[in-house]
Structure 1
Amino acid sequence: MLHHIELYVSNLERSERFWSWLLGQLGYEQYQRWADGVSYRADGTYIVFVQAELRYMDVPYHRKRVGLNHLAFRAASREQVDALTDALQDRGITLLYAHAHPFAGGERHYAVYFEDPDRIKVEIVAPA
Structure 2
Amino acid sequence: MSDFGLLHHVEIQVSDLESSVGSWAWLFDVLGYTPYQEWNGGRNWRHGSTYIVLASAPRDGIHDRRDAGLNHLAFHAGTTQNVDRLWEAAPQNGWNQLYVDRHPWAGGDEHYAAFLDNVERFKVELVATDPTE
Which bin holds the TM-score, normalised by the shorter protein? over 0.9
| Counterpart residue number, 2:83 | 81
Q: Cα 1:12–1:69, aligned 2, differ >3 Å: closer, same or farther? A: same
Counterpart position of 2:42: 37
SS in 2 for 1:50: strand
Structure 1 counterpart of 2:51: 46
Q: Distance in 2 between matches of 1:29 and 1:93?
A: 19
Bigger drift between 84-93 and 72-81 goes to: 84-93
Partner deviation per Cα, 1:3-32 (whole Å, 9 max, x = no partner): 000111011111111111111000000011
Correspondence list, 1:1-128, <5 A: 1-53=6-58, 56-57=59-60, 59-91=61-93, 93-128=95-130
Distance 1:92-1:52 versus aligned 2 partners, 3 A rule: closer
Amino acid aligned to 2:39:
W
The 1:63–1:41 alpha-carbon spacing in structure 2 relative to 1, beyond 3 Å, is: same
Runs (4 or more) in structure 1 with deviation over 6 Å come to none
SS at match of 2:96: coil
Whether the 8 Å contact between 1:14 and 1:117 is mirrored in structure 2 is no
Partner Cα separation in structure 1 for residue 42 and residue 93 of structure 2: 23
- Which runs of 5 or more residues in structure 1 are unaligned? none
Name stretches of at least 5 consecutive residues in structure 2 with no aligned partner.
1-5
Contact map agreement 1:31 1:40 (CA 8 A) in 2 = yes
Determine the C-alpha separation between the residues in 1 that align with 2:119 and 2:23: 7
